[in-house]
């Protein structure tokens, strides 16, 4: 496994396993156990996913010491604000059955995320959180948060995949020492990603699938990826991306797939903001 070093010196696997939309607790527990068994050490969950308890059970059953794992969770919008966030983080620790969380993120830049971040800073100082960061923060919100808080976010988890490569946002994150992390690195199959002829042609040179090429492309750009699958054979396939390297020509060909816009949502869309802020855990 390859690791990246965060801005506070913490090492984070560049490839992990995400559990978004795995709501059934038994299935989620099984998937996390499978993922750990085949070699994943970064597990990404969130309060809003409703499966922190299942992840915690799987961690305990795996027998792998917590210091060998890298566990990420996120504070949901409805838990924003200093006191609410602190309480919810303690709940997350209990559900995950952990003494500390490796990385805690603010899930969305809504409600009192300043209060949330200051609660996170305090728990970071108490070493209950090894690193803190954000998710879905566009460059304007990210810079604002950095300028008026003491701890620079270690990570910003955003939508990144071959069709939305976030080049400008990535450069701004680099400027401030924030590690970019990709949710939906497969675009959840949109734009026929798994059948895309460009990715297929590149993968044919290395006997690799479209999914493996997409992950390798992002990894070579320094992007941390957290692909999700409920199938063990796919988990094995997704982690098998460290035995080949894309050429500069390959990288240029895949770069040309970038559409420059989200395939999912925009925080600049009032209707989407109304929808997101109406959600509860």
Domain limits for position 39: 3-278
Cα–Cα dist 32/18, whole Å:
9
Which pTM value belongs to this model? 0.97
Feature table: binding site for substrate:
107
Provide the domain count of the chain: 1
Neighbouring residues of 180: CB distance < 8 A, sequence distance ≥ 6: 155, 156, 158, 160, 166, 169, 170, 173, 222, 223, 224
Task: Tell me what percent of the chain is helix, strand and coil, each rounded to the nearest 5.
Answer: 50, 15, 35
3-state secondary structure of 125: helix
Per-residue pLDDT of the chain (281 residues; tens, 9 = 90+): 999 999 999 999 999 999 999 999 999 999 999 999 999 999 999 999 999 999 999 999 999 999 999 999 999 999 999 999 999 999 999 999 999 999 999 999 999 999 999 999 999 999 999 999 999 999 999 999 999 999 999 999 999 999 999 999 999 999 999 999 999 999 999 999 999 999 999 999 999 999 999 999 999 999 999 999 999 999 999 999 999 999 999 999 999 999 999 999 999 999 999 999 998 65
Q: What residues act catalytically?
A: 49
Name the β-bridge partners of 72: 44, 103
CATH number of the structural domain spanning residue 240: 3.20.20.100
CA 73 to chain centre: 9
């Amino acid at each position: 496994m390859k690791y990246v070093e965060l801005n506070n010196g913490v090492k984070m696997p560049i490839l992990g396993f995400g559990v978004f939309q795995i709501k059934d607790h038994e299935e989620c527990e099984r998937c996390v156990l499978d993922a750990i068994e085949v070699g994943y050490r970064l597990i990404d969950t969130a309060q809003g996913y409703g499966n922190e308890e299942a992840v915690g059970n799987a961690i305990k059953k795996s027998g792998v010491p917590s210091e060998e794992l890298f566990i990420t969770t996120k504070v949901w919008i409805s838990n924003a604000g200093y006191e609410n966030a602190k309480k919810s983080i303690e709940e997350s620790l209990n559900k995950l059955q952990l003494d500390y969380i490796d990385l805690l993120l603010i899930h969305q830049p809504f409600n009192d995320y300043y209060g949330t971040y200051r609660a996170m800073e305090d728990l970071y100082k108490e070493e209950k959180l090894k690193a803190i960061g954000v998710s879905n923060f566009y460059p304007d919100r990210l810079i604002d948060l950095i300028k008026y808080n003491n701890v620079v976010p270690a990570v910003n988890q955003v939508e990144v995949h071959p069709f939305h490569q976030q080049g400008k946002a990535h450069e701004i994150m680099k400027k401030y020492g924030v590690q970019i992390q990709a949710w939906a690195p497969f675009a959840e199959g949109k734009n026929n990603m798994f059948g895309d002829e460009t990715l297929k042609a590149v993968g044919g040179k290395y006997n690799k699938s479209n999914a493996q090429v997409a992950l390798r492309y992002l990894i070579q750009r320094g992007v941390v990826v957290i692909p999700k699958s409920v199938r063990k054979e796919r988990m094995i396939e997704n982690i098998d991306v460290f035995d080949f390297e894309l050429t500069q020509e390959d990288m240029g060909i895949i770069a040309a797939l970038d559409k420059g816009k989200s395939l999912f949502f925009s925080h600049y869309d009032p209707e989407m903001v109304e929808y997101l802020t109406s959600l509860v855990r």
